[in-house]
């Protein structure tokens, strides 16, 4: 029984950030043209995602509640990211 607990805990921990209990989702890049067509920017432009110095360099928090964390390592700085939970776009810092 102990082996099952340890295995289950290890598998669960690999997909979550143990400090916050939330998963980091792989980011979905979106082109400027597609973003403007499907998700028009607010009058102030798309907001900037947030960086936490305690997270890996590619992990960015969405500016939209519930502030999902995305792995943006494969997206260029200044690129547009689709927050798939709330269907809104933000800029990768």
**Report field, pTM of the whole predicted structure over 0.85:** no
Domain tally, the chain: 1
pLDDT at 57 > cutoff 60: yes
Tell me, what's the pLDDT at 10? 45
Please report which confidence band the pLDDT of residue 20 belongs to, taking 50, 70 and 90 as the band edges: very low
Tell me the average pLDDT across 44-63. Answer: 95
Please report which confidence band the pLDDT of residue 78 belongs to, taking 50, 70 and 90 as the band edges: very high
Tell me, what's the pLDDT at 1? 54
Residues near 25 by beta carbon (within 8 Å), at least 6 away in sequence: 68, 69, 70, 71, 84
Residue 63, domain extent: 2-91
């Amino acid at each position: 029984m102990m082996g099952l607990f340890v295995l289950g805990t290890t598998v669960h921990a690999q997909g979550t950030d143990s400090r916050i209990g939330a998963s980091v989702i792989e980011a979905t890049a979106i082109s400027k043209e597609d973003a403007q067509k499907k998700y028009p920017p607010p009058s102030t432009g798309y907001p900037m995602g947030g960086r936490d110095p305690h997270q890996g360099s590619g992990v960015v928090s969405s500016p939209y509640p519930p502030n999902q964390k995305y792995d943006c390592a494969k997206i260029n700085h200044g690129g547009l990211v689709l927050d798939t939970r709330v269907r809104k776009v933000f800029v990768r810092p």
